[in-house]
Amino acid sequence: MSSLPSRAAHCSLPSHLCASPARKATLFALTPLALCLAQAAMAQQASAPAADAAVTAPQLQEVRINASTEKDMGFAPVEAQTASKAPMRRLETPQSVSVVTREQMESRQITNVQQALQTVAGVSPVNFGRRGFDDLNIRGFRSTESILVDGLVQSPGMWAKLQPYGYERFEVLKGSASVLYGQVQPGGIVNAVSKRPKKDAINEVGVEVGSFGQRTLQADINRPLSESGKTALRINAQVSNADDPTQFVYRRDRWFAPSLSVDLGAQTDLVLFATYSQSEWMRQQGITPYGTLLPNRNGKLPVTMFTGEPAFGVYDVESTTVGYALEHRLSDTMTFRQNVRYETEKGTGNFVSNQALQADQRLQNRSASRQYMDFDLLATDTSLLSRFKALGVKHQLVTGLDVRSGHSLTASRTCRIGALDLFAPVYGMQATCPAALTSDAPAKLTVAGLYAQDQIKFGQGWTALLGLRRDWSTNDIHNRVANQETRQKDNATTLSAGLVYEFKPGWAAYGSYGESFLPTSGLDFAGASFVPETGKQWEAGVKYEAPGGQVTGALAVFDLVRENVTTADPVNTGFSVQTGEQRARGLELELGADLKNGWKITSAYTYTQTKVTRDNNAAIVGLPLNLTPRHTLTAWATYKLPQYQRVTLGLGGRYVSEQIGSYPFTLPSYFVADASISYVGESYRVTAGVKNLFDKAYYDGAINANVVSPALPRSFNLGVTYFF
């Protein structure tokens, strides 16, 4: 990292916590209203007579930011907040939104986001090797960079892998969603809702051990610091080490997340939070399809072979976040909210990738790179939530401004390394790296978006949702290798509209239209900047919610088009033009149930038809998009034994049909089963589980024509959690 410029030469704090004066000024410039409101709330509290305070104290509400987590336990949650930035019945939401609760994650012993979303219709957790973070496709399109935390986007680096242990739930909003969240990918977004302080004490310490050297120690401690419980401290922490079936591959994670709720009066909720994570891992891309999926004249290859070079090095990434979530009720019908997060990511990565296999199908050509990553991002979202009646119609209106400003640097050196004999591998080859950086282009991105979305209830069972947004973004890039500076300015107007009709209690039909946009960096042959990619989606469906919310269900059909896709310039070799178009159409079914007879069930079916509808490469026009199976079916159920109420059994599985794309091979279909058993004592819980119960060998990802990514074989896990 010595080649990276210093970001805080005069800062006495550790470098990852320092910010330049300009960035500090930006931080304070974006938050004066929050400070004023906090001061006003404290002044109001101080001026209240002591007798009044004594009277009202028992009625103080607990912190409500990211509220409704208690309602979201179980397998059939009825509320979500991602579709409207406010708690909203899923039945009244004219768009597909799925929720994975804390209880679901614990019953399945989830260790990463990909596993958590395996039971969500429309989501295809894909495998691009053990590359360090979670990859996702939603409705046929890549959505890896559209994973939000508490409604705010993460830094563009995305090297900090989310730890599911730190989140109450994951909400998946499918389809184009730029009206509320700005620059996102067209398939949809994932919103991770963090654990936050509660008024009741929580004392939980757990340890897990499992196959391939898995060892995890974790804790969740919540301490009320006032009689009302409104001032509270919560600390989540996790330390995890794991090896891998692939030789030399491992991962080490250290994660710590404190949060503090502050009592600023009955009308104000304020949560201060921070996170720190440090991860080290050996990256493995995958293995050649020749000798695994396709024939190889030399024989079969073990899928656990390491094709990199252990001596070349590992990834080592550190990230921090600090911020706050403020909610102030101006009246019974109006609430001011502001979420602010400043985060940094910094690290190095050493990676050996597979190139084309040599003609003898024995020697694997490889390339090596040393990467240097340095990111920071200040993200703010300031909004006003209003509830009112006008002309006999009920409104829930959200208006807001979100602003992001950040710096990013991913520099690298491309190195030469010898080919690996796949049938007699010898490690320890030296790589030859240039003294100068191969790529070095720091960038500064500034984004601002004004938005408004109104939920309108009228007539008998009718709900409309109308949204409009205007965005402006500027991306300044300094290519220090080419000594070239460019500025790309984009703006976009997006809208959404939907209508829901609850035609009988618990049954609703809906239709909606949504748009998305995502700036595309780069220049065409004429030197003009690319325009943003856009997404447009039509969706219709039916939803069900049983009285009491014990059963929820949804059926959706959608038509999603991605436009302005870059494709090769047919006239000017080496350049691109934006004439590509891709389409995804499909049907999704979801069911969740919390039955009184001890059964809890979550299941989903997805039918997705994707294809390239326009591209300058005529050979792929009409073909499906890569890594988009036509059919997926998944289910997970738990059953509490009536004779032994402390024992719960879990069983489930997922079927994925073959995945056909433009690769010279097809990923075969597969079925994988999981099982678990748990016992709850007076102050502890023991859970044992097995994933890939029948030890199915399969492939759930591919990077390009040279690399396929094997999935994990059967693995066991045993966890003990102690409550005190």
Specify the DSSP element, H or E, that contains 10: none
pLDDT band at 127 (very low <50, low <70, confident <90, very high): confident
Higher pLDDT, 188 or 63: 188
User: pTM for the full model?
Assistant: 0.88
- The whole-number pLDDT of residue 214 equals 96
User: Contact, 656 vs 670, CB < 8 A?
Assistant: yes
423 residue type, one letter: F
Helix (H, G, I), strand (E, B) or coil at 178: helix
Q: Which residues contact 280 (CB under 8 A, 6 or more apart)?
A: 251, 252, 314, 315, 316, 317
- The tokens describing 111, both together, are 């260790």
- The whole-number pLDDT of residue 72 equals 55
User: Contact, 171 vs 146, CB < 8 A?
Assistant: no
- Residues 352-385 have pLDDT tens digits of 999 999 999 999 999 999 999 999 999 999 999 9
Assigned CATH topology for domain 15-723? Maltoporin; Chain A (2.40.170)
If you average pLDDT over residues 648-654, what whole number do you get? 97
Higher pLDDT, 35 or 519: 519
The percent of residues above 70 in pLDDT, for the chain, comes to: 90
Q: Work out the angle at residue 192's Cα, subtended by the Cα atoms of residues 191 and 197, and round it to the nearest 5 degrees.
A: 130
For the ranges 17-31, 69-83, 290-304, the maximum mean pLDDT occurs at 290-304
Residue 542 has pLDDT above 90, yes or no: yes
User: Contact, 496 vs 513, CB < 8 A?
Assistant: yes
Where are the alpha helices (H) located in 481-632, listed in sequence order?
none
> Nearest CA to 694 among 668, 717, 674?
674
If you average pLDDT over residues 696-723, what whole number do you get? 94
- The whole-number pLDDT of residue 527 equals 79
- The whole-number pLDDT of residue 524 equals 81
- Torsions phi, psi of 700, nearest 5? -115, 20
- The whole-number pLDDT of residue 52 equals 37
pLDDT band at 513 (very low <50, low <70, confident <90, very high): very high
If you average pLDDT over residues 688-702, what whole number do you get? 95
pLDDT band at 46 (very low <50, low <70, confident <90, very high): very low
DSSP 439-466: B---EEEEEEEEEEEEEEEETTTEEEEE
Rounded to the nearest integer, the mean pLDDT of the chain is 88
The percent of residues above 90 in pLDDT, for the chain, comes to: 79
Rg of the chain in Å (alpha carbons): 26
Residue 672 has pLDDT above 70, yes or no: yes
C-alpha count within 13 angstroms, C-beta hemisphere, residue 355: 14
Q: How far apart are the first and last CA of the chain?
A: 44
- Residues 223-255 have pLDDT tens digits of 999 999 999 999 999 999 999 999 999 999 999
- Residues 311-366 have pLDDT tens digits of 999 999 999 999 999 999 999 999 999 999 999 999 999 999 999 999 999 999 99
If you average pLDDT over residues 139-165, what whole number do you get? 87
- The whole-number pLDDT of residue 9 equals 34
Q: What is the DSSP letter of 425?
A: -
- Residues 412-437 have pLDDT tens digits of 999 999 999 999 999 999 999 999 99
User: Contact, 364 vs 417, CB < 8 A?
Assistant: no
> CA 711 to CA 695: how far, in whole Å?
10
- Torsions phi, psi of 541, nearest 5? 180, -175
If you average pLDDT over residues 488-517, what whole number do you get? 96
User: Contact, 70 vs 198, CB < 8 A?
Assistant: no
User: Contact, 690 vs 714, CB < 8 A?
Assistant: yes
- The whole-number pLDDT of residue 26 equals 38
> CA 519 to CA 522: how far, in whole Å?
10
- The whole-number pLDDT of residue 601 equals 97
